[in-house]
Chain A
Amino acid sequence: MSDFITIALAKGRLADETFGLLEALGIDCSEPRNPGRQLVLYDRANSIRFILVKPSDVPTYVDHGVADLGVVGKDTLLEAGRPLYEVLDLGFGRCRLCVAGYPSQTASIRHATFRVATKYPSIARNYWEAQGKPIEIIELHGSVELGPVIGLSDVILDIVESGSTLRANGLVVLEEVCEVSAQLVCNRVSLKTKRERIQWLIDGMERQLAERERRSPQ
């Protein structure tokens, strides 16, 4: 299998957008587009193998080198904190990583200890540590907005796309941590040991993105 290029993807929008880019390079993504229950899928003619995994596992597979490339949101990448090459910003899956809470609590961020509900405990720790503010992290796996609503936490740290979930629950963005978009990541050794083919893929995807930009400038 070492002559295959293995790409780790999480099912859903990031994967679909990635297939679009790869197909424009002549790669056959019909198998991974309709995976059924298969987890390992191929374009054998181009010696490319796809593995479909949970988003938060993409950095793990790539770090271990069992996948050469992966597509993953910047938020997941920051949380994982693994030493990967971030070779290309794919631009899609755009959103913001924000601190949100009740408008009246804006000032409470400046108070001593307060509680943060989040799916990103590691980002939260680094973010407030850098500001020298002690916090208590409450790790949740979904519906983080509930935190302030039912009084579990003072604020949340989460990704915000349209902000409609926040608004529906009476919450507002208090601080923006960073912008998030899909990143193409590469294993540190693969980039060298499979250099030509991986560089061809990176360059090709970069060209496709530039082409799209040209056709529909925002």
Chain B
Amino acid sequence: MTGSKLQIPIGMQDTLPGECRAKRHLEGELRKLFSLNGYQEIETPILEYYGVLDDRIYGFRPEHIWKTFDRSGRILAVRPDSTIPAARLAAGQLREEPLPLRLYYLQSATEYERDTLSMLCENPQAGVELMGETCAESDTEVIALAMDALKQAGLKDFQIELGHAGFFAGLMAEAGLDENQTEEVRRLVEQKNALGIQLYLNKLAVPEELTRRLMLLPRMYGDAEVLDEAAKISSNPRCAEAIGQLRAILSLLKRLAEDAEVTIDLGLAQEAGYYSGIIFRGQVAGIGQPILSGGRYDGLTARFGRPLPAVGFALSIKTLLIALEQQGTVFEAPRPGCVISVESGTFVQAQRLAQAKRALGISTAMVYHMDEAGLKSYLRKTGADEGWIVTPEGETAVKGGLEDV
């Protein structure tokens, strides 16, 4: 057992001082930004009733959710997402709050194998939810806030990609496919597998002309011109509405931030099952997965008994930190500013010196009964700027600084 006592469960992670400091700093910046935009912070419990999440629309596979039991044997789920708990709150305890409701959170979402890129199951996220508004302006507000969050974090050259769940849904309605067939096509569209779509739709005897149009979906990405192409492939009212909303949002975003890189991907429709309107994600070159994703989910709160239009996003703190590091940000472990060695009988005297340093904003730590050579070595190893030895006779300064490598 000696070796395995040092192990933590697969998929879990410790956060060491260097990463923890960077993470807290980033969280602080995001907290400031979200509050300035009128959002209020919430926390939700780590455990929810599994039954609340056991609905196909949420897109969680039962085997991907961490589960446990309460004392009476009811199945509990480790929170796999924060949007569903936020919707539960909006329909429950926050029912009397005036609309619109603006909520944000900084907490983790835990799921088995959500992400094939790392073994990590517990993913710290920052996210916002805007509930009670339905217009393109509110969609734009949330997307612009997502962009501001990445900018505030110091990320450069990121790209925001817009899609719309209604466009795909409209095409499927036109093809007259049932739920299972739609899911299969959705999977193929997600893979941008045009040939797969063709083979599958031929098998279902979907008219050839419609199949030809559906096969264009995987290529429906790029600049605003994509929307002109998209308008040609369907006259279905849901598709037309989706294109209209995307145009409105795109034009608002361009006017808000001229240099913003915003692209369209109509094959993006439907990462999480509860999205009902616009879908978006943020990504940067060199990181193989999106840093943030979000969208409109008008049907979600109704499942808790209070229909509210809503839009939001969640950003992965870990992925953002990796992206920042890749772009050259150096995250240093925190180091003490000052170290004071306390000899016998000098604790009170040393504490007074420490308090004077701390009053100047210098992080000051005590060590006990360390001689000058020991303190020098300690200062070098920890990279502290200054050191003091406190004896009954007085205080002696010892020069600090990082170890020469």
- With a CB–CB cut-off of 8 A, which chain B residues contact A102? none
**B192 and A189 form a contact (CB under 8 A):** no
- With a CB–CB cut-off of 8 A, which chain A residues contact B370? none
| A193 CA / B193 CA spacing, docked (Å) | 19
A-B Cβ contacts below 8 A, count: 59
- With a CB–CB cut-off of 8 A, which chain B residues contact A193? 159, 283-285
Task: Check B35 for interface membership: any CB of A closer than 8 A.
Answer: no
**A195 and B192 form a contact (CB under 8 A):** no
**A64 and B263 form a contact (CB under 8 A):** no
What 1/0 flags go to A79-109 for Cβ under 8 Å of B?
0011111110100000000000000000000
Identify the closest chain A residue to B161 (Cβ): A192
Task: Check B222 for interface membership: any CB of A closer than 8 A.
Answer: yes
Q: Contacts A83-B190, A85-B192, A87-B192 given: A192-B221 contact, CB under 8 Å?
A: yes
| A82 CA / B288 CA spacing, docked (Å) | 12
- List CB contacts (< 8 Å) of B186-218 with chain A: 190-193, 195-196, 218
- With a CB–CB cut-off of 8 A, which chain B residues contact A187? 288
- List CB contacts (< 8 Å) of B284-309 with chain A: 284-290
Task: Check A2 for interface membership: any CB of B closer than 8 A.
Answer: yes
Kindly identify which residue among B116, B193, B221, B290 contacts A189, using a CB–CB cutoff of 8 Å.
Answer: B290
- With a CB–CB cut-off of 8 A, which chain B residues contact A84? 191
Kindly identify which residue among A81, A86, A192 contacts B263, using a CB–CB cutoff of 8 Å.
Answer: A192
- With a CB–CB cut-off of 8 A, which chain A residues contact B285? 2, 189-190, 193-194
Task: Check B111 for interface membership: any CB of A closer than 8 A.
Answer: no
Q: Contacts A2-B285, A65-B289, A189-B285 given: A86-B159 contact, CB under 8 Å?
A: no
**A188 and B289 form a contact (CB under 8 A):** yes
- With a CB–CB cut-off of 8 A, which chain A residues contact B116? 63, 81-83
**B192 and A86 form a contact (CB under 8 A):** yes
- List CB contacts (< 8 Å) of A186-212 with chain B: 186-195
Identify the closest chain A residue to B288 (Cβ): A65
Identify the closest chain A residue to B158 (Cβ): A193
B160 to chain A minimum Cβ distance, whole angstroms, is: 10
**B161 and A86 form a contact (CB under 8 A):** no
Identify the closest chain A residue to B285 (Cβ): A193
- With a CB–CB cut-off of 8 A, which chain B residues contact A2? 285-286
Identify the closest chain B residue to A64 (Cβ): B288
Task: Check B8 for interface membership: any CB of A closer than 8 A.
Answer: no
| A142 CA / B379 CA spacing, docked (Å) | 57
A200 to chain B minimum Cβ distance, whole angstroms, is: 13
- With a CB–CB cut-off of 8 A, which chain A residues contact B117? 63-64
Q: Contacts A189-B283, A193-B283, A193-B285 given: A86-B265 contact, CB under 8 Å?
A: no
Q: Contacts A64-B117, A192-B161, A192-B263 given: A86-B289 contact, CB under 8 Å?
A: no
- With a CB–CB cut-off of 8 A, which chain B residues contact A85? 191-193, 218
Identify the closest chain B residue to A195 (Cβ): B222
- With a CB–CB cut-off of 8 A, which chain A residues contact B193? 85-86
**A192 and B283 form a contact (CB under 8 A):** yes
- With a CB–CB cut-off of 8 A, which chain A residues contact B265? 192
A sample of 17 more A-B contacts (CB under 8 A), given A86-B193, A188-B290, A189-B290, is A2-B285, A2-B286, A63-B288, A65-B286, A65-B287, A65-B288, A84-B191, A86-B192, A87-B218, A89-B195, A188-B288, A188-B289, A189-B289, A191-B192, A193-B159, A193-B283, A193-B285
Interface CB pairs A-B, < 8 A, 28:
A2-B285, A2-B286, A63-B116, A64-B288, A66-B288, A81-B116, A83-B116, A84-B191, A85-B191, A85-B218, A86-B191, A87-B218, A186-B192, A187-B288, A188-B290, A189-B284, A189-B285, A189-B287, A189-B290, A191-B221, A192-B161, A192-B265, A192-B283, A193-B159, A193-B284, A193-B285, A194-B285, A195-B222
Question: Which A positions have Cβ atoms within 8 angstroms of B?
Answer: 2, 63-66, 81-87, 89, 186-195
